[in-house]
Structure 1
Amino acid sequence: MAAKTPENLLWSLPVPSVKELAMKGLATVPARYIRDDVEECTSSDPNQAFLGVPLIDMDKLVNPETRDMEVHKLHAACKDWGAFQLINHGLCSRTVRSMKAKTEEFFNLDLEEKQRWAQKPGSLEGYGQAFVISEDQKLEWCDMIYLRALPLPLRNLGFWPATPHGYREAIESYCEGIRELAVSLMGFIAKGLLGVGGKRFSEAFEDGRYELRMNCYPPCPEPEKVVGIAPHADISGITFLLDCRDVAGLQVQKDGHWFTVRPIADAIVVNLGHILEITSNGIYKAPQHRAIVDRWKERLSVVAFCYPSPDTDIGPAKELIEAGRPALYRTLKLEEYFKRFYDWNLGAVPFIDTLKL
């Protein structure tokens, strides 16, 4: 019996495991993965190869003697790139190591074991591939597992892998660390945007919504013909990406060019989502980004999507409007914001444009 077609983006059709395909030693890519709808996934414009996403030092943000200069750099990174690499972020090194190791162990499990945590009709959570809403849709060269982690009532442990041993505990510890980092970083982002402390912005993320997506990009015999994740901008407030290995794959678009983000040891890549684009009234942008894949090497990543608390108004910051800037976006609650996205169905109009006044 054919799978029922999803009614919105809240769930995804089952698809083959890309890792299982890669393990067969294919010489060519199956037709459904060939992405002639996406420009060739090559590296950065060679004439601008010296450019890279900015580097922000959390130690300098928390140090009163260096804070102002680093906040200025942070503001410029958010305005010009919408992305940066964060060093000295303060996440527990043991927690980070465990998260990387357990994620690698999970994707190395037998397919049958991984499918114990597979997505189910009506839910985007679980092991599979996101946003597959039709049988003829082009697919991404990626396996993933997506989980809602915070607040606690959102957790569905039926999708949280009990294997490998300790993975659930690693996920829980990592997400708690990410929450603390998001709360702290949001205060500095608000200071850069508004020129004043951002206590209410930080507080909004203390009780916010946190979701994790662990990705596996297997080696591909024709990497130039596929995409790991298609170009998109995140709908989060802020997103943290942790590469599990020293394998580049994330690309960020700036001024019409794609720039490959080279992994830095012990750094986390941060990119802004649509919620911060709206909050900044368009001063900051949620960047288009994508994942490319390697011919020989597997890439693994852990992505944390951070949202403010449900009672937060998603709209331009009042300080900006009171300063005389006309509001470019409507204001709505988080629940309505999510509903609009999940009903959007990957439309031709960018999601952010549907929220403009």
Structure 2
Amino acid sequence: MSSEAEVKIVEDSEVLGWGSSLPVPSVQELARNDSQCVPERYIQEPEDRPLHSVTTEVLNEIPVINLSKLANGDEDERRNLDTACKEWGFFQVIDHGVSDKVLHAMKAAVAEFFELPLVEKKKYSMAANDFQGYGQGYVVSDEQKLDWNDLLFLITAPPKYKNMKHWPTTITGFREAVEKYSTELQKVGDEIFENLSVLMGMERESLKDIHGVMKLGVRMNYYPACARPDLVLGVSPHSDASSLTLLLQDDDITGLQIKNKEIWVPVKPIPNALVVNIGDALEVLSNGAYKSVEHRAVTNQQIPRISVATFFIPEDELEIGPLDSMVDEEHRPRMFKRIKYLDYLRYTLGRKMEGKSHIDILKLQNM
């Protein structure tokens, strides 16, 4: 990274704090008030619109990992995890130990929040210098195209990072449902991190220890039905700045798509499964062995869709860079520079979603 780029990151972080997003109208209200109208600002440029050429033959090729087998030390399943992270960067997890009751309670809490009147939801709006709260993410200019979704983002762990003013108080059981779900997903994430640690040539706890006190960020998404789903995107193409992301999808609606070999592949939901993807931080730590993958969400004409993305976020002061066990100067030389994670997070939050472009600034060939 050039010194000019480093200065830019520091300048942005001083202005933004952790991050911010400009306030924009609620998409849910736009669709509710006029279900046939798609405002110009939501109509994507022709080259960015959803394509109908996504092939159905690859629907079943998204890897599926059995977490129970991983927890029991199954070496074949661990190799499957390694392959999934290297070749796809995405996989679905079954037998993960999170009860159907917890999953359904989380979905119900999200649905109930978005059913609140707009004036009530606005009580939890994002502050000018914080990405926690209700609104939209990654809106950094008045000119950029907007995504067809509303969101509520909360830090759920550790306790000192919770901003309780953004937690709805009028929904019975909301806090309990979110906290229980977050606690259960922490266990799933821990098991995945421990197995990845072994695959990366370290002790089981090493990768978690390296991350320090991880934060869990929960993004609750609402995608209204859209009269012209061919013109809009629920979420623009991007990779995640986190180390891992665990996604809870609607069981009956396919909206998530990932980019694999330059083809947008739909991730067909498996009931009560969790979708897991590698984030930018883990790609850097693994020296590029494990890939953070470009993904997006599309909409549909008939019914709204919700999803819940839980991000495993490294400690602010962690300096991310390729781990020694993942560097071989002859066969796999160091691919990324070292940077404080919080600086990278602020850099990404200060820009709109643009595929994999954010991580490019960390690649050594850019120096």
Q: Say yes or no: TM over 0.5.
A: yes
C-alpha displacement of 1:210: 0.9
Equivalence map 1:3-14=2 (5 Å): 10-14=19-23
**Change beyond 3 A, Cα 1:133–1:50:** closer
| Deviation digits for residues 65-116 of structure 1 (CA, Å, limit 9, x no counterpart) | xx11001111110001100000011123322221111111111111111111
The counterpart of 2:144, out of the listed 132, 137, 141, is 137
The counterpart of 1:108, out of the listed 104, 115, 137, is 115
Cα contact 2:54–2:264 (8 A) shared by 1: yes
Are 1:59 and 2:68 matched, yes or no?
yes
**Change beyond 3 A, Cα 1:223–1:238:** same
Cα contact 1:22–1:219 (8 A) shared by 2: yes
Which residue of the partner structure matches residue 348 of structure 2?
A: 341
Is the partner of 2:164 in helix, strand or coil? coil
Cα contact 1:311–1:333 (8 A) shared by 2: yes
Are 1:98 and 2:105 matched, yes or no?
yes
Is the partner of 1:109 in helix, strand or coil? coil
Are 1:32 and 2:46 matched, yes or no?
no
Distance 2:154 2:179 in 1: 11
Is the partner of 1:290 in helix, strand or coil? strand
Is the partner of 1:239 in helix, strand or coil? strand
Cα contact 1:233–1:287 (8 A) shared by 2: yes
Which residue of the partner structure matches residue 3 of structure 1?
A: none
Distance 1:304 1:348 in 2: 19
| Deviation digits for residues 154-192 of structure 1 (CA, Å, limit 9, x no counterpart) | 111011111311111211111122222111111112223
What value does the CA root-mean-square deviation take over the aligned residues? Answer: 2.3
Cα contact 1:75–1:193 (8 A) shared by 2: no
Are 1:248 and 2:254 matched, yes or no?
yes
| Deviation digits for residues 47-80 of structure 1 (CA, Å, limit 9, x no counterpart) | 744553110000111223xx11001111110001
Give the partner amino acid of 1:59: S
Cα contact 1:183–1:205 (8 A) shared by 2: no
| Deviation digits for residues 23-49 of structure 1 (CA, Å, limit 9, x no counterpart) | 224323111110016533135633744
Are 1:352 and 2:359 matched, yes or no?
yes
Give the partner amino acid of 2:286: S
Cα contact 2:147–2:233 (8 A) shared by 1: yes
C-alpha displacement of 1:345: 6.1
Distance 2:224 2:356 in 1: 31
Is the partner of 1:210 in helix, strand or coil? strand
Is the partner of 1:355 in helix, strand or coil? coil
Give the partner amino acid of 1:20: E
The counterpart of 2:281, out of the listed 244, 264, 275, is 275
Give the partner amino acid of 1:83: F
Give the partner amino acid of 1:159: H
Cα contact 1:148–1:210 (8 A) shared by 2: yes
Which residue of the partner structure matches residue 80 of structure 1?
A: 87
Are 1:263 and 2:272 matched, yes or no?
no
Cα contact 1:11–1:124 (8 A) shared by 2: yes
Is the partner of 2:185 in helix, strand or coil? helix
Cα contact 1:179–1:205 (8 A) shared by 2: no
Distance 1:31 1:339 in 2: 29
Which residue of the partner structure matches residue 331 of structure 1?
A: 338
Q: Which 5+ residue runs of structure 2 have no aligned equivalent?
A: 1-12
The counterpart of 2:124, out of the listed 113, 117, 120, is 117
Equivalence map 1:11-22=2 (5 Å): 11-22=20-31
Give the partner amino acid of 2:247: L
Which residue of the partner structure matches residue 69 of structure 1?
A: 76
Distance 1:28 1:83 in 2: 34
Which residue of the partner structure matches residue 7 of structure 2?
A: none
Distance 1:295 1:218 in 2: 9
Distance 1:349 1:268 in 2: 23
The counterpart of 1:181, out of the listed 188, 204, 208, is 188
**Change beyond 3 A, Cα 1:70–1:44:** farther
Distance 1:95 1:205 in 2: 27
Question: What's the % identity of the aligned pairs?
Answer: 35
Is the partner of 1:214 in helix, strand or coil? strand
The TM-score with structure 2 as length reference comes to: 0.88
Give the partner amino acid of 1:154: Y
**Change beyond 3 A, Cα 1:172–1:225:** same
Q: Which 5+ residue runs of structure 1 have no aligned equivalent?
A: 1-5
| Deviation digits for residues 238-272 of structure 1 (CA, Å, limit 9, x no counterpart) | 00000144211000000100000111111000000
Equivalence map 1:192-231=2 (5 Å): 192-194=199-201, 196-204=202-210, 207-231=213-237
The TM-score with structure 1 as length reference comes to: 0.91
Which residue of the partner structure matches residue 161 of structure 1?
A: 168
Which residue of the partner structure matches residue 319 of structure 2?
A: 313
Distance 1:232 1:44 in 2: 20
**Change beyond 3 A, Cα 1:43–1:345:** closer
Cα contact 1:98–1:170 (8 A) shared by 2: yes
Distance 2:217 2:79 in 1: 29
